[in-house]
Amino acid sequence: MQAAGPAQRVPDEHPRHVHAGSGAAPRPFRIAIIGAGPAGFYAADHLLRQTDLPVEVDLFDRLPTPHGLVRLGVAPDHQKIKNVIRVYDKTAERPGFRFFGNVEFGRHIRLEDLRRHYHAVVFTTGAQVDRSLGIPGEDLAGSHSATEFVAWYNGHPDYRDHHFDLSRERVAIVGVGNVAVDVARILCRTPEELARTDIADYALEALRESRVREIFMLGRRGPAQAAFTLPEARELGELPGADVFVPPEEAVLDPFSQALLAEEGDRDTLKKVELIQEFAQRRPTGKPRRLTIRFLVSPVAIHDDGTGHVAGLRLVRNELYRTEDGRLRPRATGRYEDLPVGLVFRSIGYRGVPLPGVPFDERHGVIPTEEGRVLDPATGRPLPGLYAAGWIKRGATGVIGTNKACAVETVSRLLEDAAAGRLPEPEQPDAGAALNHIRARQPDYVTYDDWKRIDRIEVERGEAAGRPRVKFTGVREMLEALREDPARSA
Ligand code: NAP
């Protein structure tokens, strides 16, 4: 946030780098990165760590808080995963790094502005919206995307006013990926378990009152194709507040899966199938909630209770068939059943959203790229100076660390282009000019030092309650806390 008085260190003083062997002091390559999630930080880190070319990095995020899905996607009961933030803090300490939070691409800063001040732009905006099922009833009240629910319980400012009717006793989650597992686990956690996390306060209150008793996760293929990973599945089997169960007939492997598993001998999948089959043997132990994982079923419609609210799901049973390239796909059998539920979360993957002026592949929900270079859809050739990394480049796959290799690939191509003179020369390639532009367009920009203050206040608020932090969930609240923070003028 821009200081009104002498208070805040203004991040416009970069040390100037010098090309090895040159007498003069050439300007560094200035790189803008849009999106301060894991991919953005890994891209910044790789740029600032290398010593072949002098670079400066400005990392932008539309929210005042950095770290993307590590803050707003990783489940609140998975605090250890969030330790990766320490790595990002180290990146932020590297000379040549600046963070501009609360600055939105397309609103406060447009592509032509970036072109004027930077040699290259790396888009790391992730995948913010969900994929839809395309079935009747998807728009009924009580039918939500997992994306919304996850963002809501994690305190994302855009989602804090969403409402989820947790007075319903039966809930279906469509999809059996790790996001579906997160949603199921959060619905199954006891208030005492949640109270030890950094879940948003309003979500803690709502989940404390939750009357959800029965949760169904619905896989369209079989146990061997479940997208969740083994540790996540194991955790479901150890929930203090919920019994986990799989209908025994759905835990049995079909002949195709058996053959494929024997052929490939994938140990993780084998163990996952064994675990699912073990779940199928379990009997209720009297825990307050029950989680049932179903396989080989697809929703074909969401029923209306007559008032525009979800009343249940129409499911079709599937069988698997082998495609020419050897993959196992689901096919409807014509056998149907109805599953009465009052709430539906679709958790069938994420898509990126198009950015103004940047090519977009609608079909896959990504920016079209080749090894991270953004491609011109008209020519299929790279657009000079434009790059992408992370989920907006390769789709919503992999864990946080996957983004490191992805960002390194992109940045390696960028550095090759810089070394070969293939980057366009900006009109005003200096840090001060970029800062002036940002100041003029968004005086309430947030620096990394500002973020560290927000972070400290959140952690302090959590200490009293025995929680890792109590999050700010509104942008205005964050900016006010910064204005009122006595450490601001330190
Ligand atoms: P995902 O892993 O791709 O899972 C998507 C699920 O939706 C799959 O079960 C998929 O089934 C199913 N699906 C897709 N289209 C469907 C349809 N039309 N009808 C019914 N089911 C459908 O996606 P995700 O769960 O959103 O996770 C995204 C990425 O984040 C993954 O790489 C995940 O591992 C990662 N993540 C990791 C963690 C963690 O490490 N703890 C936590 C959260 C997310 P098919 O397999 O049949 O397509």
The answer to whether the CB of 61 falls within 8 A of the CB of 36 is yes
Per-residue pLDDT of the chain (490 residues; tens, 9 = 90+): 654 333 333 344 433 333 334 456 668 999 999 999 999 999 999 999 999 999 999 999 999 999 999 999 999 999 999 999 999 999 999 999 999 999 999 999 999 999 999 999 999 999 989 889 999 999 999 999 999 999 999 999 999 999 999 999 999 999 999 999 999 999 999 999 999 999 999 999 999 999 999 999 999 999 999 999 999 999 999 999 999 999 999 999 999 999 999 988 889 999 999 999 999 999 999 999 999 999 999 999 999 999 999 999 999 999 999 999 889 999 999 999 999 999 999 999 999 999 999 999 999 999 999 999 999 999 999 999 999 999 999 999 999 999 999 999 999 999 999 999 999 999 999 999 999 999 999 999 999 999 999 999 999 999 988 999 999 999 999 999 999 987 754 4
Strand ranges (DSSP E) for 223-372?
242-245, 289-294, 297-304, 310-322, 328-340, 343-346, 350-351, 369-370
What gap in Å lies between CA 158 and CA 162, rounded to an integer?
9
Cβ(298) – ligand 1 distance below 6 Å? yes
| Any atom of ligand 1 within 6 Å of the Cβ of 179 | yes
180 lines ligand 1 (CB under 6 A): yes
Distance between terminal CA atoms of the chain? 15
Structural domains of the chain ordered from first start? 6-128+352-489 (3.40.50.720), 132-349 (3.50.50.60)
Centre of ligand 1 to C-alpha 398, Å, is: 10
Q: Is 320 in the pocket of ligand 1 (CB under 6 A)?
A: no
397 lines ligand 1 (CB under 6 A): yes
- The pLDDT value given to residue 127: 95
Is the CB of 232 within 6 Å of ligand 1? yes
pLDDT at 25: 60
- Neighbouring-strand partners of residue 57: 31, 97
Q: Is 348 in the pocket of ligand 1 (CB under 6 A)?
A: yes
* Nearest ligand 1 atom to alpha carbon 229: 34
**Residue 326's pLDDT is what?**
85
Which alpha helices (DSSP H) does 178-229 contain, by range? 178-188, 191-194, 201-208
- Ligand 1 contact via 239 beta carbon (within 6 Å): no
Closest C-alpha to ligand 1, atom 18: 133
Among protein residues, the one whose CA lies closest to atom 13 of ligand 1 = 348
* Ligand 1 probe mutation, 348, 364, 366, most atoms within 8 A of CB: 348
The dihedral region occupied by 421, where left means phi > 0, alpha psi between -120 and 50, and beta the remainder, is: left
The CA distance from 116 to 385, in Å, is: 12
Strands of the sheet with 343-346, listed across from one edge: 143-145, 343-346, 170-174, 214-218, 289-294, 242-245
Residues contacting 471, CB < 8 A, separation 6+: 154, 155, 198, 200, 201, 458
DSSP E strands, 378-431: 382-388
What is the pLDDT, as a whole number, of residue 2? Answer: 52
Residue 349 Cα: closest atom of ligand 1:
26
Nearest residue to 124 via CA among 393, 310, 340: 393
Ligand 1 pocket, 164 CB below 6 A?
no
Whether 154 is in the pocket of ligand 1, judged by its Cβ within 6 Å, is no
pLDDT score recorded for residue 17: 39
133 CB near ligand 1 (under 6 Å)? yes
Q: From the CB of 233, is ligand 1 less than 6 Å away?
A: no
* Residues forming beta bridges with residue 319, ordered by sequence position: 331
Nearest C-alpha to atom 7 of ligand 1 is from which residue? 348
In the reported structure, the alpha carbon of residue 236 is separated from the centroid of ligand 1 by a whole-number distance in angstroms of: 16
Rounded CA-CA distance 103/87 in Å is 23
Q: Which residue has the CA at smallest separation from atom 29 of ligand 1?
A: 397
Question: 97-100 and 55-60 as β-strands: parallel, antiparallel, unpaired?
Answer: parallel
Find the 140 Cα to ligand 1 centroid distance in Å. 23
Burial class (CB in 10 A: 0-12, 13-18, 19+), 4: exposed
Ligand 1 centroid from CA 179, angstroms: 6
Give one DSSP letter per residue of 436-460, joined into a string.
HHHHHH-TT-B-HHHHHHHHHHHHH
CA triplet 321, 326, 327: central angle to 5 degrees? 60
What's the pLDDT score for residue 330?
Answer: 97
Sequence-distant (6+) residues with CB within 8 A of 192 are none
For 382, phi then psi, to 5°, come to -60, 140
- Cβ(130) to ligand 1 under 6 A? no
DSSP character string of 142-173 = TEEEHHHHHHHHTT-TTTTT----TT-SEEEE
- Classify burial at 439, counting beta carbons within 10 Å of its beta carbon; exposed 0-12, middle 13-18, buried 19 or more: middle
